[in-house]
């Protein structure tokens, strides 16, 4: 009986080593994926912030210029607000589903790759 127990000991040790190695592998894969996604989000966030600042300043300039042409400065801001309201409505009506699907697919593929 003792001979059978002695033969199972190396098997249990190998199974324990295998489980530890698998756990460490999954942990390292998780860390790698988290770092990859975090760095991508950080770089995109920086680009979005810079682009938003540029677009905001450009819009203020265009609104002031239009207001100067129309006679009152606030008319330019009304025109810009109407333009962006119209663009937002068009995007929502015609492109909402396709944009949502593309963003979802992008997130899923980045998580699974």
> Is 75 in contact with 66 (CB distance < 8 Å)?
yes
pLDDT in tens, 58-105: 999 999 999 999 999 999 999 999 999 999 999 889 888 888 888 888
pLDDT in tens, 19-61: 999 999 999 988 888 888 888 889 989 999 999 999 999 999 9
CB neighbours of 22 closer than 8 A, spacing ≥ 6?
Answer: none
> How long is the chain?
113
């Amino acid at each position: 009986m003792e001979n059978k127990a002695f033969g199972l000991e190396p098997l249990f040790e190998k199974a324990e080593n295998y489980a530890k190695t698998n756990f460490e592998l999954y942990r390292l894969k998780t860390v790698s994926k988290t770092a990859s996604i975090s760095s991508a989000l950080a770089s995109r966030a920086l680009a979005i912030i810079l682009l938003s600042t540029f677009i905001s300043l450009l819009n203020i300039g265009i609104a002031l210029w239009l207001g100067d042409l129309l006679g009152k400065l606030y008319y330019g801001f009304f025109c810009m607000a109407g333009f962006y309201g119209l663009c937002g409505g068009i995007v929502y009506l015609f492109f909402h589903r396709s944009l949502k699907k593309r963003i979802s697919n992008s997130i899923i593929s980045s998580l699974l790759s």
